[in-house]
Amino acid sequence: MATTTEGPLSGLRVIELAGIGPGPFAATLLADLGAEVIRVERPGDETSPIPPHLDILRRSRESVIVNLRTQAGVNAVLDLVEKADVLIEGFRPGVTERLGLGPDQCLARNPRLVYGRMTGWGQYGPLATSAGHDISYLALTGALHAMGRADEDPAIPLNLVGDFGGGSLYLVVGVLAGVFDAARSGQGQVVDAAIVDGAANLTAVLHAMIAAGLWRDQRGTNELDSGRPWYDVYKTSDGRHVAVGAIEPKFYAEFIDRLGLDPAELDRSSPDSWPAVRKRIADAFATRTREEWAEVFDGTDACVSPVLSLLEAPHHPHNAARGTFVDIGGVRQPAPAPRFSRTPAAVRSEPSIPGAHTREVLVRWGLDNVDELIECGVAIQH
């Protein structure tokens, strides 16, 4: 099967109205997969504390600066919209409408446009216009309550579950579904991607387990939340950790065998015995270092892995063999995912500098007054 250097989304044109967090990550995913993504930024609107040349969420795409406080700037973006397949924005509800770049204005110029909206609370509802962050959205979905140990406060899962899991990924699925539909119907539409909706959707299996009587609405007491001794993390003799996920009986049997314990002395069937089982496992892990245990369990079905730091992870032999991390411009970062056999994804370029491609993009996309826009300061080329 012949391969190509273009990703599976080659030919898809996306306008990204610059924001922070889940919107830019969604744009990065689309760009890594081959879409031509143009990041439209406003003068002086550098809200990220990360310097642009180090900001991985700016990679694989070009940047233009346009003053959206001017009608000429709004008109320039609408000219780009006419030629785009997708627009992504991550402002509070009503902001793009006030700018003159809301769904009605954009779809009037391009009826096939898929207009992706990324917010925390969604476009309507009592909290729609309120501020929030990842932790806020997880709190209202039940997801945050479910995370952590039984005798501790809820554990904060960074901003991966809300912003990027329930937000970016659902926005990408939504806009790609919209593009698929537009190709058949000739009509675009608005995608209302709310982090609170996506994060709630991610808990679907937990609700199924509750309905089946297999999950208690009490953290730290269930199969996947540290409620079982065979699904937990344990400290090793060097103060590091290993992760254990030996749920199935055959995996558990190999786990106990390689740990050097006697299964006859460990009662897995009775919850009353689990504290004792947990202590035996913890005591065993405390006798060797993380790396010694990693060697014991490497390549087995015992489902035991060393808990690596962010800086350690790229050097693990499995990650190295798959190229799970790459170096781009001297910055170590995750490689694009998922993988395609014929149209591989790739990091198309280093993170864009704001306004570095203004003239080039506006000319390539067919605007006929580019020099005038730059001379009067509506568009800025750096």
Q: Which residues are catalytic?
A: 133, 163
Q: In the 8-state DSSP scheme, what is residue 167? A: I
43 vs 166: CA distance, rounded Å: 30
CB 258 within 8 A of CB 296: yes
DSSP states of 216-250: -SSTTSSTTTT-STTEEEEE-TTS-EEEEE--SHH
- Contact call for residues 340 and 351 (beta carbons, < 8 A): no
Integer-rounded Cα Rg, in Å, for the chain is: 25
Q: How far is CA 343 from CA 34, 59, 296, in A?
A: 9, 19, 38
Query: φ and ψ at 378, to 5 degrees?
Result: -70, -40
The CA–CA distances, whole Å, from 143 to 108, 137, 168, 199 equal 39, 9, 17, 7
DSSP 38: E
3 state SS of 158: coil
In the sheet where 304-306 sits, what is the strand order? Answer: 231-235, 241-245, 304-306
Alpha-carbon separation of residue 188 from 80, 182, 264, 308 (angstroms): 16, 5, 63, 44
Q: Please tell me the distance from the alpha carbon of residue 86 to that of residue 14, in angstroms, as a whole number.
A: 5
Query: Which of 331-355 are b and which e, b meaning 16 or more Cβ less than 10 Å from the residue's Cβ?
Result: eebebbeeeeeebbbbbbebbbebb
Placement of tokens 């610059």 in the chain = 18
| Angle 210-153-230 from CA coordinates, rounded to 5° | 60
* Strand duo 62-66 + 13-17: pairing: unpaired
